[in-house]
Amino acid sequence: MRTVTLNNGVEIPQIGFGTYRSTESSSEVMNTAIKAGYRFFDTASFYNNEEDLGHALQNSGIPRKDFFLTSKCWRTEMGYDNAIRSFENSLERLQTDYLDLYLIHWPRPNLSDPEWKKVSIDTWKALEYLYHCKKVRAIGISNFMVHHMENLLSEANIVPAVNQIEFHPGYMQKEVVEYCRTHNMQVEAWSPLGCARLFENKLLLSLAAQYKVSVAQICLRFAVQEHVIPLPKSSSFNRMKQNQEVFDFTIEARDMQLLEDMPLTGWSGEHPDRERVKKP
């Protein structure tokens, strides 16, 4: 399995399996994903599927050390003590005694809290404590924009290993990615396929035809070439397999440029400082 090395030396697989909204029949989806070869699973307390994932991992008979498990501290679980409790609850639901990666899910507990900067830092201090206790191999953040990261880094002793953000052609968050690169934080992509909103895009369809792959594979290969770790979701074995088959072709520089220059397309409407835009 191809891996990338995080800023603390931990190796992380180059592609992970996203589990958001796989609550219905989620254990079946997780079992299938394991059979399809995924070993890196991205979950969160908010997804309400950690127990199912824990069962699937146990039932697989594959040693725990062969998996790379990420979970996240939800908005209502922020603050020092709450974050530690939230982490312990995730461990219990996942039937494990450590995580490979633990993230702060969103930078603010809610959109109106004037104390969000302090809450964000307190939560980070809890993650630093868990890291020092060796209960988690790497710690990071999710959905942080530049000003949220500046706040965190003003007090952090450990630089986050990862920032997981929405990233796909048509929504690259270039400033965030650039800031992460400068500070040696690995970017991970949620919704690397634009949650199926990109599948009719003309440029993507023409590149898919040109490289003789699917639009999904163009999106995933694009992430890989941008040094971003994609976390695609799928409910079908064949598409799960297909989404890992992105290492036998290379998108040429001029086509990468076309993808980088795409106008806003397929954005989920999620923003860390604003209410969700319903129809972006």
Catalytic residues: 47
Q: How far is CA 19 from CA 129, 185, 262, in A?
A: 27, 22, 27
* Smallest distance, ligand A2P to C-beta of residue 116, A: 27
* Smallest distance, ligand A2P to C-beta of residue 25, A: 11
CA pair distance 158, 110, nearest whole angstrom: 24
Q: At what angle do helices 146-153 and 174-182 cross, to 10 degrees?
A: 30
Q: Which is nearer to ligand A2P, 64 or 271 (CB)?
A: 271
* Smallest distance, ligand A2P to C-beta of residue 49, A: 14
215 contacts 203 by C-beta, under 8 angstroms: no
Strand 101-104 and strand 68-73: the pairing is parallel
With CB under 6 A, what is the number of residues at the site for ligand A2P? Answer: 17
Of residues 65 through 124, those in contact with ligand A2P by CB under 6 A are: none
Binding test (CB under 6 A) with ligand A2P, winner from 196, 250, 260, 273: 196
Does residue number 242 form part of the binding site for ligand A2P (CB under 6 A)? yes
* Phi, psi (rounded to 5 degrees) for 141: -135, 170
CA pair distance 99, 171, nearest whole angstrom: 29
Mask for 197-236, x = binds ligand A2P (CB under 6 A): -----------------x-x---------------xxxxx
Q: Which is nearer to ligand A2P, 32 or 123 (CB)?
A: 32
105 contacts 73 by C-beta, under 8 angstroms: yes
| AA letter at 156 | A
CA pair distance 20, 218, nearest whole angstrom: 22
Q: Which is nearer to ligand A2P, 173 or 191 (CB)?
A: 191
Does residue number 142 form part of the binding site for ligand A2P (CB under 6 A)? no
The residue ranges that bind ligand A2P (CB under 6 A) are 18, 191-196, 214, 216, 232-236, 239, 242-243
